[in-house]
Amino acid sequence: MPTNTKHRRFVATAVAVTLGATTLAACGSSDDDSDAQSGPAKLTYWTWTPGMDKVVDLWNKGPGKEQQITVTVKKQASGDTLVTKILTAHKAGKGPDLVQAEYQALPTLVSNDAVADIAGEAGEAEGDFAEGVWQQTTLGTDAVYAIPQDIGPMMFYYREDLFKEYGLTVPTTWDEFAETARKLKEEAPDVDLTTFSANDSGLFAGLAQQAGAKWWTTEGQKWKVGIDDAATQKVADFWGGLVEEGAIDNQPMYTPAWNKALNTGKQIAWVSAVWAPGTLTTAAPDTAGKWKMAPLPQWSKSEDVTGSWGGSSTAVTTDSKHKEAAAKFATWLNTDQEALAALAKEGGIYPAATTAQLSEAFAEPPAYFSNQPDFYTRAAAIAKTTAPSAWGPNVNVAYTTFKDAFAAAAKDRSDFGAALTTMQDETVADLEKQGFEVAE
């Protein structure tokens, strides 16, 4: 049996190596277990915003240096996968101190106890934000789970030159929008006003939000899911009808074909949000200066509301040993004028803080919209009209179901109502499976 001992010795060595490395790692990280209240704090921050390291440098050299709070950026990829990663890290107690989180992901993080209530440390920041934006970080409670960073108020983008060429006017209501689509089909049968795409659930959620939908609400201790409420049904029927009659295209966005359609004038409008200039710059580079932005069409002439698509916040995790320091940084990052100007310049974000929306950084329109000098003035006015949103703990499930059910419905040009029912049922089923009580 000489091999047995050999083998065992090898295993023992491997374990020894592992343990050695463990001790080393433990030595390296033990220095940030210092006083939890004040004193030097080293914070880690998971974010996907480009150039965030440069913004954080401002903190580390300025206010952070005075308060002995050093922040290290660990750049991440955005999206639902990051939420999973945060929750996995939280499960192991290895979460960073600060995370960037999209608004619709906050309830998921809160219900998993991954982000901390910082009402005590950062509650006074409320005044810097529009009510509808701030409410997304409180989830309608007294707690504050994050500081809003950027927002994505929805707008209507259209090719000014082609609208003129086809004799179209900019729609102000959704009825006019449908008429415009039909009229365009008569003028130029191979050109589409826009497409209904099921590959980004945020668009549909924003449209439903504009119509007044409240997808998740609480009733006592129970969740109530209203994905198939009247408002959402109205939105689904509207777009389903347009797709069914062929008035608009049914191909997904963000594909090379979609880029080409925008770039060559096969699609001449896009329902999008304030960040659209960035997307259009890569998708339709040859049409710079030919687009214009207008408010989203309304459901009735007297209304003036928009939905939001995208946007994110800065949250402090429950794993953080320096909650107060982390909250201080999060507040500075999203309310300090210098920080916000740097965020706009380096990260290209549209700030949630209302004072920053008209600051120096937004005096000039985006280069792609040089033909619309008042782009950001109008954007700030539109941002004020953002409808409140209501997110729940399993937005990811609703979004996934949306993609599957609506993509199939759009492809077959079939009834969107059935797809909506599927979305409602699966979301409720998942909530119940997760152990939440759901009100009927």
Residues that bind other proteins (CB under 8 A): 1-4, 6-7, 10, 14, 18, 21-22, 25-26, 29, 44, 46, 48-50, 53, 74-79, 81, 85, 88-89, 91-94, 96, 150, 152, 202, 256, 259-260, 263-264, 273-275, 278-279, 281-283, 285-286, 309-310, 312, 347-350
CB of 411 to other proteins, least distance (A): 22
Q: Is-contact 134 360, C-beta < 8 A? A: no
Question: Quick one: 3 or 302, whose CB is closer to other proteins?
Answer: 3
With CA atoms as reference, report the closest residue to 55 among 345, 327, 343, 359.
Answer: 343
With CA atoms as reference, report the closest residue to 155 among 237, 290, 269.
Answer: 269
Pairing of β 147-159 and β 291-295: antiparallel
CB of 380 to other proteins, least distance (A): 16
CB of 356 to other proteins, least distance (A): 14
What value, to the nearest 5°, has the Cα angle with vertex 34 and ends 30 and 36?
130
Question: What angle separates helix 201-210 from helix 395-412, to the nearest 10 degrees?
Answer: 100
Residue 74 identity (one-letter amino acid): K
Question: Quick one: 3 or 221, whose CB is closer to other proteins?
Answer: 3
CB of 280 to other proteins, least distance (A): 9
Q: Which residue has the tokens 């959620």?
A: 205
Alpha-helix residue ranges (DSSP H) falling in 224-322? 230-244, 256-263, 276-283
Question: Quick one: 4 or 221, whose CB is closer to other proteins?
Answer: 4
The token duo for 129 is 């934000």
Question: Quick one: 195 or 424, whose CB is closer to other proteins?
Answer: 195
CB of 9 to other proteins, least distance (A): 10
Question: Quick one: 50 or 373, whose CB is closer to other proteins?
Answer: 50
CB of 346 to other proteins, least distance (A): 11
Question: Quick one: 339 or 428, whose CB is closer to other proteins?
Answer: 339
Residue 83 identity (one-letter amino acid): V
Residues contacting residue 382 through CB under 8 Å, at least 6 positions apart: 153, 155, 274, 295, 296, 306
The terminus-to-terminus CA distance of the chain in angstroms comes to 68
Give 387: exposed, middle or buried? Use CB within 10 Å, 0-12, 13-18, 19+. Answer: buried
CB of 220 to other proteins, least distance (A): 35
| CA-atom Rg of the chain in angstroms | 24
Question: Quick one: 122 or 274, whose CB is closer to other proteins?
Answer: 274
Residue 311 identity (one-letter amino acid): G
Question: Quick one: 102 or 228, whose CB is closer to other proteins?
Answer: 102
CB of 157 to other proteins, least distance (A): 15
The Cα–Cα gap between 231 and 393 comes to 21
